[in-house]
Structure 1
Amino acid sequence: MSGDDRQNEEDRQNELAREHKERQAQRAAAQTAKARRNTFIGAGVAVVVVAGGIFAATTLVNKDPAGEAAAKSSASASASASPSATTPSTPPAKTGPVTCTYKRETGVPNKFVGLPGKRPNMKLKKMTITTNRGTVVVDLMTDAAPCSINSLSFLAKKKFYNDMKCHRLVTPDVSGVHMLQCGDPLAKADGKNPTDGQGTAGYVYGDENTDIPLAKGVVFMTQAGDAMGQNNSQFAISLSDENTQIGSGYNVVGVVSEGMDMLLGLATSGKDLLLNNADITGDGGTTAPKKPVIIKSITFK
């Protein structure tokens, strides 16, 4: 092989190596973006050792602390506020029979009332949440999130949510996001209890309908950002379009069609909340409303 041939071969090998390195970098960047998409809203994820295992608390935490300065709450919106026009429409219906899988989870604080059935009721269209502060009606995306709605419906029939306090309410001036979170059966919602946000129904299930941004009025299931596929009894309601900065990655079950005015009036700033600094740092506990929000019942039709 002549000197020129050897040089050409070396150049070709160098070019192949460079292209391989670029492909690796692109794949790494894509994986990082996907991981960030599933990070919770707030500031960090509290990790608690329970029964010999590690449990990431299901407190929503902040993906981007810088968003706190940019987020100015829409809580002062007019009394006629309604779900955002930017909320995407329901995804196409799934075809064929649907089977759901739920896995018992004993290594976390929980109130177990059984496991939901495997076959969801695909005819459910509305969820009504009756609270001490007013009523919220949610138009369901049953075709896109059948197993999430099946779980919620099962727990509602078991009266799991009855007389339950919503343990976390945050505003942009506190956490950079605006939402109400409920579904921890053990929560005290006093702004002091370090284990608020950790309680579940004692089982978990997989992700579905995760491509919808968290616009105002969107109702979604919550789970720790590093625990994909670990949905449980907790859910949250987005109270601002600015929550779309979080991206998608959560099980969306529907959109509020009635009761947004009441929800927006729950808190306009941190002064309406029982602040918990541990909520902001991710060390445990949650920021709760000063005036308790208590679920009286949840029904489906």
Structure 2
Amino acid sequence: MATGKDRQKQLAREHHERQMQRRIEREQRAKRNAIIGSSIGVVVVVGGVVAAVTLLNGGGSKTEAAATPSASAPVTSAPPSTGPKPYNAATGTCDYVKDTNGQVKSVGLPPTEAKTTPTTKTMTFKTNLGDVVVELNNAKAPCTVNSLEFLAKKKYYDGSKCHRLGSDKFPMLQCGDPTAKADGKTQTDGTGTPGYVMAEENLTGAAYKRGTMAMAKTQAPGSTGSQFFWIYGDLAGLSPDYTPVGTITKGLDILDKVNKAGIKADAGDGTGAPKQTVEIKDVTISGKS
């Protein structure tokens, strides 16, 4: 027959197991939600509330945009000497470095030659909710635009779902992971990568206002991949570490609709898979050279 002491030991053991489970869940979220873009921590002040904004991309951590209750130091925007090099204006070439971290859907490497003309190109995302059209800044982000054009031609984004929605305080929708389920349950959502990374671009004076399309990345500089986020509000406090690649010219009403529908489940940082599914059916880029 169980004694009072036995019962106390059992309760203590169960309490310890619950604490360990919560600790594991917190650690999993921390790996997934490191920095807005694709990595770890940026400090954002919204309505007097300090939040760490996180966009993860590759390295087993997610390329996502999210707000967390604690903040890490901002990342540097200069790529390390061993990482991908920025655009070489003298030769007109880009540097794409193989990266096997995360959930890889390999389509090869983009061509290294990239032209800064025309200065803009038009990227059209055909989704289940209508078209989202973006004017890409080819003059200031040639390597990023070159990569997006390569991925579009490879049908990399076709059939993919936007996996992470923010809120009015963190107004962005993150997409570009072709492996994401966007069901609010799959822990690997946001870890998808094309198997290569590139240096960030167009960071001088970068502003993340309503209508901006920017690239997600991990904490490390030079870790931009395929994931991106569409901003439907203003992220005035976001540090200039994520390549602003273009401006949405059509489809902001779609993002507003998705935002209004909310998220399926809170990942612990105020973000989550959108209730209103956004599936990218086809992507095309046009612009005369």
Task: Give TM-score scaled by structure 2 length.
Answer: 0.70
Q: What SS does the aligned partner of 1:288 have?
A: coil
Q: 1:194 to 1:61 in 2, by over 3 A?
A: same
Give the distance between the partners of 1:106 and 1:247, measured in 2 at CA: 27
**Distance change (3 Å), C-alpha of 1:119 and 1:40:** farther
Match of 2:67 in 1: 62
User: 8 Å contact 1:40–1:61 — kept in the other structure?
Assistant: no
| RMSD over aligned Cα atoms | 3.0
Distance 1:46 1:235, change over 3 A: closer
Deviation of 1:223 (Å): 0.8
Q: 1:202 to 1:177 in 2, by over 3 A?
A: same
After TM superposition, list the pairs within 5 Å mapping 1:23-172 onto structure 2.
39=42, 43=52, 55-62=60-67, 96-122=90-116, 123=118, 125-172=121-168
Deviation, structure 1 residue 266: 1.2
Instruction: Give 2:212's aligned residue.
Output: 218
Give 2:267's aligned residue. Answer: 277
Of Structure 1 and Structure 2, which has the larger fraction of its residues in strand?
Answer: 2
How far 1:139 moved relative to its partner? 1.1
Q: How far apart, CA to CA, are the structure 2 residues paired with 1:298 and 1:47?
A: 23
SS of equivalent to 1:128: strand
- More relative contact order in 1 or in 2 (CA 8 Å, sep 6+)? 1
Structure 2 residue corresponding to 1:195, chosen from 185, 188, 199: 188
Kindly tell me: are residues 148 and 38 of structure 1, through their superposed partners in 2, closer, same or farther at Cα, counting changes over 3 Å? farther
Q: Does 1:247 align with 2:228?
A: no
Residues 272, 46 of structure 1: alpha-carbon distance in 2 compared, 3 angstrom cutoff: closer
Q: Does the 8 A contact of 1:112 with 1:201 survive in 2?
A: yes
Kindly tell me: are residues 140 and 64 of structure 1, through their superposed partners in 2, closer, same or farther at Cα, counting changes over 3 Å?
Answer: farther
Kindly state the Cα deviation for residue 107 of structure 1 after the two structures are TM-superposed. Answer: 2.7
Pair 217,65 (structure 1): closer, same or farther in 2 beyond 3 Å: farther
CA shift for structure 1 position 264 = 1.4
Match of 1:263 in 2: 255
Amino acid at match of 1:56: S
Q: Does 1:234 align with 2:189?
A: no
Amino acid at match of 2:163: H
What is the CA-CA distance between 1:39 and the residue it aligns to?
2.4
What secondary structure, in the 3-state scheme, does the structure 2 residue paired with 1:267 have?
Answer: helix
1:220 & 1:64 partners in 2: Cα distance?
23
Opposite residue 126 of structure 1, the aligned amino acid is T
Larger radius of gyration: 1
Name the amino acid aligned to 1:60.
A
Distance 1:148 1:47 in 2: 17
- Structure 1, gaps ≥5 residues long: 1-36, 67-93
Checking the alignment, whether the CA contact within 8 Å between 2:56 and 2:216 is kept in structure 1 is no
Gaps of 5+ in 2: 1-39, 45-50, 72-87
How many residue pairs align between the two structures? Answer: 224
Whether 2:285 is the aligned partner of 1:295: answer: no
> 2:113 & 2:203 partners in 1: Cα distance?
21
Q: What secondary structure sits across from 1:240 in the alignment?
A: coil
Residues 56 and 191 of structure 2 are in contact (CA less than 8 Å); yes or no, is this contact kept in structure 1? no
Q: Which aligned segments of 4 or more residues in structure 1 are displaced greater than 6 angstroms?
A: 63-66
Are the counterparts in 2 of residues 221 and 252 from structure 1 also a CA contact under 8 Å? Answer: yes
Amino acid at match of 2:98: R
Q: 1: CA distance between counterparts of 2:251 and 2:127? A: 11
Q: Deviations over 1:205-226 (max 9, x none)?
A: 11111131110001010012x2
Give how far 1:103 is off: 0.6
Q: Does the 8 Å CA contact 1:208/1:251 hold for their aligned counterparts? A: yes
Shift of 1:96: 4.6
Contact 1:161/1:295 (<8 A) preserved: yes
Shift in Å at residue 40 of structure 1? 7.8
* CA distance in 1 between partners of 2:236 and 2:111 (Å): 33
After superposition, give the CA deviation of every residue in 1:211-266 in whole Å (9 maximum; x if it has no partner).
Answer: 31110001010012x2111000000011102x112132210111011111222121
